[in-house]
Amino acid sequence: MPVNYLQVQGQILDKCQQARQNQQVYRQRLEQALKLLERFAGELDTLRAVVENARMADSTLRCAVPLNEELNTARDAPVMGEMPLLLAADGSQVNPNRHDAVEFAVINTGLFRIQPGTAHTPREETQTQLYLLEDLHNPDAPLTEEVVALRRDLTERRLLAERAAAESARPLITLTDGPLELFREPRDNPQYDQLLRDYLNILQKTNRHGVVSAGYVDKPRSDLVVRLLELAGEQNSAAQETARRRPLAGVLDRVIFARLLGAGQRSAVFAIQSGMAERFADYDPALQPCFFYLNVSAGSSEPYLARVEIPLQTAQNSDLLDALHAALLQQCRQMGSKPYPYALHRAHEIALISRLEKEQIETMIARAMRAMGLEVEDKSFKQYHKENR
Amino acid sequence: MTASLQIGRLLRSTTSDCVIGCRASELNVPVFGGMVRIPLADGTQIYGLIHNIQIEDDGLIRQLITSDNVSEDVLLDNRNNRNVPVEIGVIFVGYAQNGRISHLLPPRPPLSLDEIFTCMPPEVIAFTGSGRFGYLRHILRAEDLPQAELLAAHIQQAGQMHHAHGSPGWVEAVTRELVTLLRDDYDRLMSVLSAIGDVNLS
């Protein structure tokens, strides 16, 4: 049976109607947020104190913390004589599926090295890690989809750190898609703790080599700055109460900064206040996650905002910050009307595991298992029928 | 004499033609109308003419053309690294077995990933100078090809080789054969003769 389009149509109309009614409230909140941003733009000490007080009252607090630039900062793209060397990595995975004939997981990491603006052919590389049999069924460290995703993040950063260590060029930028902060679950087991320590260790090594670690978040839905403004505007209320009421709920940071940032401009750099950010800073204060917004659109086109996450060490080094700013814009310009860093797109393209490749790996495993006298099951009947449509 | 150059590998084939894939960075060698050979495992050499060179695109290429300025590094990346092959169409015109040249279709098509080489002048001269231009019928039968242009390109290239190797009458002979083969098809004959009229052997 096809989708019941009649039912869907009715639901679409209901939701749109509701959203239209909420538009007025949303506009008021957006204007309020912009006013608060202007009002507190230069009151950095006050804002830091507000966040510190709120953090004491609410350990789950998540918001932006200003560093040393005013909130309404809009920095033009720096002019660079020579673009920095760029290493981008992206991972792709096959998650274990008990319905397959052979249960396995694969993490494929693509690395792309480009020296922008030169006549050198960029280099590409892939690393593939297979998880099979005993790897999957360790009761102390089960390989769930979340763990595979966490290992993928870790592998991306590890490969970047290894290749960066072999490069002498500076500045050198390593880039991944998504935030530097980790959000994977579960966070309360020894396996997660170990993987997080490994991740932080890699970021620390990269930092110490003077290499920039950056995470690029396309079309960000974050409201870290908005949450900061909520705290600033409600200083007489308890932080937990403000967090519960969310007076500016629905307003996204990118909407605010789209009003402030011209083409190619970046926002002020903020630190992140969160439980995970604290774990980063506890491991090494130089790793405190920070971020800025970047309007990657060109010329007269509509603003298009990305969020870029960096460790504190980079945030405090204006030369590295400028190099990153310029490199990201140069990379986005390569993609014409839909700006996104070319190097990241290529790393993604290299890493992608196609269905055909997955089947090929499955065949290789089954053949090897049979050759060694190991039993290979059939795929589940459910899977068979799904594929047989 | 320089050795013949490998220009790509076979993607797919039938008994009468095939498609070769090569990287964009290797595209400076194959030319429209050029003669190629495909060695088979049993020693047979299949001969063909390049009738089509197709540059494929994909989503990224289509996106990159919207950029004001495609930088040199991105250009090199797309030509040297990315898996977007140039497809070259080849029509078979004969084969050689145990040193004997035949203008019949090959006994079996080549297999996927077989290597394809450009033909060197002695090979072109030997193939086109053998028999009585029987290979022309394969071209004239393939009505979906740009026959007149393909024949003109082939005659220009092979004619220059024959001319340089002491057979200046080859172009006249092949033209006469085409007139004979197309005598009942005036429109096609005029189209072919018009194209051949543009051949420059200097």
Q: What is the ipTM of this complex?
A: 0.76
Distance CA A320, CA A327 (A): 10
Partner residue opposite A114 with nearest CB, options B63, B65, B73 = B73
Confidence bin at A183 (pLDDT 50/70/90): confident
Q: How confident is the model at residue B1 (pLDDT cuts 50, 70, 90)?
A: very low
Q: Which amino acid type is present at position B23?
A: R
Could you tell me the pLDDT band of residue B5, with boundaries at 50, 70 and 90? confident
DSSP code per residue over chain B: -PPPPEEEEEEEE-SSEEEEEE-GGGTTS--TT-EEEEE-TTS-EEEEEEEEEEE---HHHHHHTTSS---HHHHHHHHHTSS-PEEEEEEEEEEEETTEEE-SPPSSPPPTT-EEEEPPHHHHHHHHHSTTSTTHHHHHH-TTS-HHHHHHHHHHHHHHHHHHTT-TTHHHHHHHHHHHHTTT-HHHHHHHHHHHHT----
Interface membership of B62 toward A (CB under 8 Å):
no
In this predicted model, what pLDDT tens digit does every residue of A68-103 receive, in sequence order? 999 999 999 999 889 999 999 999 999 998 898 899
pLDDT-based confidence at residue A185 (cuts at 50, 70, 90)? low
Task: Tell me the average pLDDT of chain B.
Answer: 92
Q: Which of residues 83-142 of A touch B (CB under 8 A)?
A: 114-122, 124
Tokens representing B16 are 């009468």
Per the listing, tokens 């007489």 go with: A236
Q: Does B75 touch chain A (CB under 8 A)?
A: no
Higher pLDDT, B147 or A300: B147
Which pair of structure tokens corresponds to residue A353? Answer: 């595991």
How distant is the Cα of A343 from the closest Cα of chain B, in angstroms? 9
- Residues from chain B that touch A337, judged by Cβ atoms under 8 A, are 63, 66
C-alpha B7/C-alpha A381 separation (Å) is 47
User: pLDDT band for position B198 (50/70/90)?
Assistant: confident
Neighbours of B51 (CB within 10 A): 23
Looking at per-residue pLDDT, the higher value among A195 and A324 belongs to A324
Judge whether residue A188 has pLDDT over 80: no
Residue indicated by tokens 């100078």 = B129
324-383 in chain A: CB under 8 A from chain B: 330, 333-338, 342, 345-346, 349
Q: Cβ distance B72 to B113 under 8 Å?
A: no
For residue A122 the two structure tokens come to 């960029």
Could you read off the pLDDT of A24-44 as tens digits, one per residue?
Answer: 999 999 999 999 999 999 999
Cα separation, A348 vs A164, in Å, equals 19
Q: Which of A80, A334, A350 to mutate to test the interface with B (most CBs of B within 10 A)?
A: A334
Instruction: Check: pTM over 0.90? Answer yes or no.
Output: no
- Establish if B60 touches chain A: CB-CB under 8 angstroms: yes
Distance in angstroms (rounded) separating the CA atoms of residues B29 and B86: 12
Question: Looking at A56-210, which runs of residues are DSSP E strands?
Answer: 63-66, 85-94, 104-114, 123-132, 172-177
- Range scoring the smallest mean pLDDT among A314-328, B81-95, B122-136: B81-95
- In one letter, which amino acid is B81? N
pLDDT tops 90 at residue A1: no
Nearest CA to B115 among B49, B51, B39? B39
Instruction: Report chain B residues whose CB lies below 8 A from the CB of A341.
Output: none
State chain A's mean pLDDT as an integer.
93
Establish if B59 touches chain A: CB-CB under 8 angstroms: no
The residues facing A90 across adjacent strands are A110
Looking at the predicted structure, is the pLDDT value of residue B116 above 60? Answer: yes
What φ, ψ does residue B37 adopt, rounded to 5°? -135, 150
CA atoms of A34 and A297, how far apart (whole Å): 21
Pairs across A and B, CB distance < 8 A? 54
- The whole-angstrom distance between A232's CA and the closest CA on chain B is 42
- Answer yes or no: are the C-beta atoms of A291 and A305 closer than 8 Å: no
Residue B79, pLDDT above cutoff 90:
no
Cβ–Cβ of A335/B71 closer than 8 Å?
A: no
Q: pLDDT of A205-222, one tens digit each?
A: 999 999 999 999 999 999
Q: Give pLDDT, residue A187.
A: 66
Question: Which residue of B63, B66, B77 is in closest CB contact with A122?
Answer: B77
Nearest to B80 among A117, A121, A330 (CB): A121
Reply yes or no on whether the pLDDT at A186 is more than 70: no
- pLDDT, average across residues B66-76: 89
Output the CA torsion sign for B161, B162, B166, B171. Answer: negative
Q: Give the mutation candidate from B73, B79, B82 for the A interface (greatest A CB count, under 10 A).
A: B73
Say what the pLDDT of residue B133 is. Answer: 96
* Cβ B118 vs Cβ B36: under 8 Å: yes
Q: What is the pLDDT of residues A98-123, one digit of tens each?
A: 898 899 999 999 999 999 989 999 99
Contact B63 A121 (CB under 8 A): no
Identify the weakest region by mean pLDDT among A174-183, B24-33, B161-170.
B24-33
